[in-house]
Structure 1
Amino acid sequence: MPSRRSLLGRLSAAVGVAAAGCAGLRPPPGLDLPANPHDVPRRQFAQRAHLREDADGNPLGTRFRRVLLLDLQREPSAEAGRTVERALRTLEDAYDWSPDGLFHLLAWGTNYLDDHGVLNRVPTDHPTVLSRVDTPELLRFDAALVLESDVPSHLTAAESALFGDRAELNGVAVDHRLLDTFARRERRTGFIGEGLPAAHADAEGVPADAIPEDAPMFTGFQSGREKTQASEDRVTIDDGPLEGGTTMHLSHLTLNLKRWYAFSEASRVKRMFDPETTPDDEAGFTDDVPFADRVEEHASEHGMVGHHEKVARVRRDGEPLLLRRDFNTVDGGHPGVHFLAFQRAGKDFRRTRKSMNGWYLRDDSPDITDSENNGILDVIRVRSRANFVVPPREKRAFPLTVT
């Protein structure tokens, strides 16, 4: 019987498929797939050029999200690679690459990378504990399929086509399924956008009538202003075997909304931004949030600091390191956030989280602890963490194989 490594070596010669419809990308040898009727980008995570914008030019992310966390059920092989690629091509045949259609990506987890001896070739590692107040479950998966759309039925239909018995997807015959290669271990679901948090206010732990009707997030604030996010270029790996890809972090956070909304509006604004920001200031923010880098001074003078002013300190050439695609959830019946972020290297996420921890402020005020008066850390808890790589589209089926 061929060894696992010899199968992987064979796979590297036969798989590594590029998406048709993009200049310079070719279909893989031996796959003989027709041209894709919809253009899809080489970067699996690329969305910015396809998103709607608000009046201030901020991107409006897709309203509904689903993440399927997967375990491999068969040995890697050229045949398995063809099955995976053809299954994903079904999604691309069926839907436009747009919010009204379907965005999707296949990421590969540290379990797969470690099992196949290639974890040392990628700019991430197994997840670790990153704060002193959390004891998260540190998860390792083989892969994750991320699905996004403004049309929630598209997510259900796509999952049913890839992991169920659906025979047709938006008029396209379903001949290949990920079920033949992966088993679903977990499902993460959620939403982001005006009105959606208020529509889920019946979840346990959400105080009655607290969430503004037009709020896009459970906390009541806007997430993802253009200049508070890394660009897609910033998070793209620019050399090596994953050139054109990125890394992905996924955390599940719980929110103590009763405590959050027990604070006054003015206090919530200060905790989210900085002690000198008022609700009127926040209402005037457009595509950015002012940042004066006065965290230590604020700690000394006010005995508290804001969330944004801490994480804004971690930038490169003035630009944040993380491209966040976080979203609300009521998975488990409780309010929370699935914090999904892309970054060029896992160390970028760790640096940002350590700045958010605010440990460096302990000498500036006795009122600031690991959670109290320290941004939003007193209302969030991390339940789990997992790390992944997102290959470029032409390498999305069993990337980084070894001979």
Structure 2
Amino acid sequence: MTDNNENERAGRLRGKLSRRRLLQGTAGTFGAALASAGIYELIDSIAKPPDRAAAADSPPIQEQYLLQNEQVVMVNGSGVKSSHGTIAVRVPALHDHVITARLNVPAKAKALQEAQHHLESALLGLERQFPPTPTGVATTVAWGLSYFRHYIPTLGKTSGFFKAGTPYPAYLPVDLMTSKKEGHTVYALQEARTFPSDQPPPGFGPVRLEQNDVAVLLRSDSLANIKAAQNALFGTGSSQAGSLFKVTSIRQGFSGGGFYGQQGLPSKLALAADIPGAQSIPRQAQGFLGFATTLDSNMGPGNIANLETLPGLTDQWPNGYFKQGTTMHLSHLFQDLVTWYEQNFPQYADRVQAMLQPGLSPAPAPGTLALQPPGQSEAEVAQGVQRYRAYGHTGSMSKVDSTTSATTSNYGKAYPSGTTIPVRGDFDTLDNPFHYTSDPTADHYSKKPAAGLHFISFQPTTAFFNLVRLSMDGHYPDRTLPVAPRSPHAGINSVLQTTHRQNYLVPPRRHRSFPLAEFLA
């Protein structure tokens, strides 16, 4: 629980912004939302930027989804044994923004190729101004199936990758493993689906499976840098790229801030916004639910999440057009802090068992707990259900999201069994559900802040994401656990409410701007 001093500080934080600015943005004009960050403007005045090493003077890597020059710190592994008593945690950027859009470009070869040059010029200008790191601005451009379906129906030119006349979707990366299993061609990028535990808030209607053409993820320790990047890409001046897009949403948020003995951003901002349950968020927690989310052991190392890195996953090795790219899942979820801290899991040990696995009873030290690989096997999760009538969030996924045996990548890198494959990029938010939406009715927009999560995961194929997400609900390829997927005994599912989902293809940096447009005729 927070003390009176912290509650007083929260009141002072609220006073730093007028009521209008605290909640600004939003269902109104796009220009106003682009110019203002609302409550997130507090971050740079209340959080010390991480003490990161100076970025090396080297060109950006092709894996545009990887955060370069990311700092790793060692924190106490209280309650869960690790080899050295401490656990490595990646320090994320303080600010995270995602902008989604439909295209404002004619579906014609010349127009798309001009747009390709225009966007790439804007991106290169950004890279000249800011290094692609948390101290500058890290930019990731991802493309939805609607872009390929509507704008790249057929390739008109023969290249080293494709033949002229190749139709959609035959030019997309093929998921070799799933194709073999299902007996027909399955592509690495698939439409988003819902899952057994998906439940939108009352009155929200079904989970919205979005059809955006593009999503741009911006990450930085500086809000000013992100604003400059947003303006360069979505502003409407002659040197800006905004004329290419019809923005559908701006999604803003934050992570961390408490790795150096300081009060973390989740606690500070939730208290400042007067979120129900905010007083229970651990002081230094990285996320609203009180646990570190960027444990190094639970994040894919190096380029393991690439389409082509692990042998046999896709057809992009050795010379695929999308080599060094990946797939991205983007969703929004509300997090019910009152249910988490006060109702379903009132004791710290209860929250540990829901987040990790039943049977753990560590000493209270919120924010630093981890299950070290290889974690629980599927059989051990099932045995835990028999013994405790429950399973934990991390435990349910720990074998499904990792290598099942010692593996050597196509690049010659050896990965031991139990190496995590996905790379997470999710961040907490007070958006309800977005900072700005072009369709406030369909998105159920509200000015009232709410504890939420913009969930981002990078992995080689959509099918892999689906497999991992189903395991979170106790659904495995060969068994289904006898626990209702929204039960308090099903990990953290009972405190999450999903509103939106979409999958994207993240090309390598060299093809990030209107991929494949150069092959239209």
Please give the TM-score of this superposition, normalised by the length of structure 1: 0.83
Picking from 256, 270, 274, the partner of 2:353 is 270
Partner of 1:251: 331
Identity within the alignment, %: 28
Q: CA deviation at 1:281?
A: 8.6
**How many Å separate the matches in 2 of 1:259 and 1:292?**
26
1:12 maps to what in 2?
none
Post-superposition CA distance 1:78-101 (Å, at most 9, x none) = 221110100111110110122111
Verify the 8 A CA contact 1:54 1:60 in the aligned structure 2: yes
Structure 1 residues not aligned, in runs of 5+ = 1-36, 167-174
CA distance in 1 between partners of 2:495 and 2:396 (Å): 16
- Cα distance per residue 1:227-260 (max 9 Å; x no partner): 1122242111121221111111101011111000
CA contact (8 A) 1:137 1:384 kept: yes
- Give the structure 1 partner of residue 191 of structure 2: 126
2:362 maps to 279
CA gap of 1:270–1:345, structure 2 versus 1, over 3 A, is same
Change (3 A) 1:363 1:241: closer
User: 1:321-341 deviations in whole A, cap 9, x for unaligned?
Assistant: 311111101101110111101
Q: TM-score, normalised by structure 2?
A: 0.65
Q: Deviations over 1:304-347 (max 9, x none)?
A: 11001101120224222311111101101110111101011111
* 1:118-159 Cα deviation digits (max 9, x unpaired): 344231111111225433100011101110001122111221
Give the Cα–Cα distance (whole angstroms) in 1 for the partners of residues 141 and 473 of structure 2.
Answer: 30
Alpha-carbon deviation of 1:358? Answer: 0.7
1:139-288 map, 5 Å: 139-164=210-235, 176-193=239-256, 194=258, 195-202=264-271, 203=273, 205-238=275-308, 239=316, 240-262=320-342, 263=345, 264-280=347-363, 285=369, 288=372
Within the alignment, does 1:52 sit opposite 2:135 as a pair? no
- 1:364 Cα offset (Å): 6.1
What residue is the counterpart of 1:384 in the other structure? 500
Q: Is the contact between residue 486 and residue 493 of structure 2 (CA under 8 Å) also seen in structure 1?
A: yes
- Please give the alpha-carbon distance, in whole angstroms, between the structure 2 residues aligned to 1:64 and 1:208: 20
Q: 1:186 and 1:224, CA in 2 relative to 1: closer, same or farther beyond 3 A?
A: same
Distance 1:165 1:138, change over 3 A: closer
1:80 aligned partner: 115
Question: CA separation in 2, counterparts of 1:223 and 1:385?
Answer: 20
Deviation at 1:176, TM superposition (A): 2.5
In the other structure, the counterpart of 2:395 is 309
SS of the aligned residue for 1:331 comes to coil
Structure 1 letter corresponding to 2:296: E
Alpha-carbon shift at residue 350 of structure 1 (Å): 0.2
- When residues 62 and 297 of structure 1 are mapped into structure 2, their CA distance, relative to the original with a 3 A threshold, is same
Checking the alignment, whether the CA contact within 8 Å between 2:330 and 2:502 is kept in structure 1 is: yes
2:141 is the alignment partner of 1:96: no
Name the counterpart of 1:114: 149
User: In terms of mean alpha carbon deviation, does 127-136 or 66-75 score higher?
Assistant: 127-136
Q: Distance in 2 between matches of 1:363 and 1:83?
A: 50
Q: 1:133 to 1:292 in 2, by over 3 A?
A: closer
CA contact (8 A) 1:225 1:288 kept: no
C-alpha distance after superposition, 1:169-209 (max 9, x if no partner): xxxxxx62221211211011110102100112244643141
CA distance, structure 2, for counterparts of residue 92 and residue 364 of structure 1? 48
Instruction: Tell whether 2:429 aligns with 1:329.
Output: yes
State the distance in 2 between where 1:137 and 1:266 align: 34
Q: Deviations over 1:24-69 (max 9, x none)?
A: xxxxxxxxxxxxx86211111122x511111244321111100000
d(CA) in 1 for partners of 2:72, 2:198: 37
Unaligned runs of 5+ in 2: 1-56, 75-86, 154-167, 174-187, 200-205, 259-263, 309-315, 406-417, 433-448
In structure 2, the CA distance between the partners of 1:43 and 1:334, relative to structure 1 (3 Å rule), is: same
Name the SS of the counterpart of 1:101 in structure 2. Answer: coil
Alignment partner of 1:320 out of 411, 420, 424: 420
- Which residue matches 1:42? 62
Query: Is the 1:43–1:245 contact (alpha carbons within 8 Å) kept by the matching residues of 2?
Result: yes
Q: Amino acid of the residue matched to residue 99 of structure 1?
A: P
The range that moved more, 227-236 or 105-114, is 227-236
How many residues align? The count is 356
Q: In 2, distance between residues paired with 1:229 and 1:288? A: 11
RMSD: 2.3
CA separation in 2, counterparts of 1:274 and 1:128?
27
**Corresponding letter in the other structure for 1:136:** V
- The corresponding residue for 1:22 is none
Q: Take 2:197 and 2:265, find their aligned partners in 1: how far apart are those partners?
A: 32
Pairing 1:69–2:100 present: yes
Cα deviations by residue, 1:263-293 (Å, 9 ceiling, x for unpaired): 2111000000011222339777579366132
Partner SS state of residue 209, structure 1: helix
